[in-house]
Amino acid sequence: MKLHLFTGKDTAAAIAAARAALGPEALVLEQRRVKGGVEITASVERAQEEAPPVPDILAAHGVPEPLARALAASPLALPARLRFGALPPGPVMLVGPPGAGKTLAAIRLATSALLGGRCPCVTNADARRAGGELAALLAVPGLAPHADAASADIVDTAGIDIFDAAAHAELPRTGAARVLVLPADLDPACAAETARAWHGWGCTHLIATRLDLSPRLGALLAAADTGLVLALASLSGATGAAMLPLTPAFLARRLARAPSRRHLDA
């Protein structure tokens, strides 16, 4: 609020001067007698400008409104607002809801390690399943499941409901960094709620799956806006397909075009 001083031979004259300068909404905050008449302090509260509309392209992607406005404000908003980076060094534990793609992500991480000259230890920590799927998939690159989750490099876990306190006990106790595996085709509000809960449960990084099936990025961006580091993206359902780094440039390319199942090759 900016303050202005006005004088007049009397109060009415000073107020008239204020309203002539500031308009009829001028507010008198203080008045005092001075030599020659009256001096008043006046101001006017300007109505806040209407927020600019959310760009149609971001609305089409289902990006939540506050985040969409931030992203529309500057070309540098993506790396400024969201966090990007590689997975943490050392062992990782893949966690997330049922059907998120954790087992396939584990296989792809193991394959990437093999191509980098390392032979990773991968274990199944899902007590509900015998681990046959993981064993079969590991056999493709010539690996076998590791027996001990505490010493494994990659830990595949059961899909659990993060909002079920009893389910938390199913996660093995290891020193591995918890990495959330989350499908990109969720409802944005649901994705944000789930990511926020996992972030509070110790997750630091995010692997996005089903980007080959989801033309909209609203869920992914909503999840990332909770503070998780965007690490990798799955762009294919093929077992041998590598995951790609999630970068500001990648997201910017996908956001710049109208979401369509015909255009999922970014």
The average pLDDT across 55-77 equals 87
pLDDT > 70: what percent of the chain? 91
Question: Tens digits of per-residue pLDDT, 7-28?
Answer: 989 988 888 888 888 888 788 8
For residue 88, what are the CA distances in angstroms to 74, 150, 182, 232, 233?
29, 17, 17, 12, 15
Give the pLDDT score at 266.
Answer: 46
Query: Which pLDDT belongs to residue 94?
Result: 96
- Sorted by where each begins, the domain ranges of the chain are 4-43, 56-255
pLDDT at 96 over 80: yes
Residues in the chain: 266
CATH code of 56-255, in short, is: 3.40.50.300
Collapse the DSSP code of 201 into the 3-class scheme (helix H, G, I; strand E, B; otherwise coil) and give the result.
coil
pLDDT of 49 reads 44
Three-state secondary-structure class, residue 180: strand
192-250, pLDDT tens digit by residue? 999 999 999 999 999 999 998 888 999 999 999 999 999 999 988 777 778 999 999 99
Q: Where are the alpha helices (DSSP H) in 30-123?
A: 56-60, 65-73, 77-81, 102-115
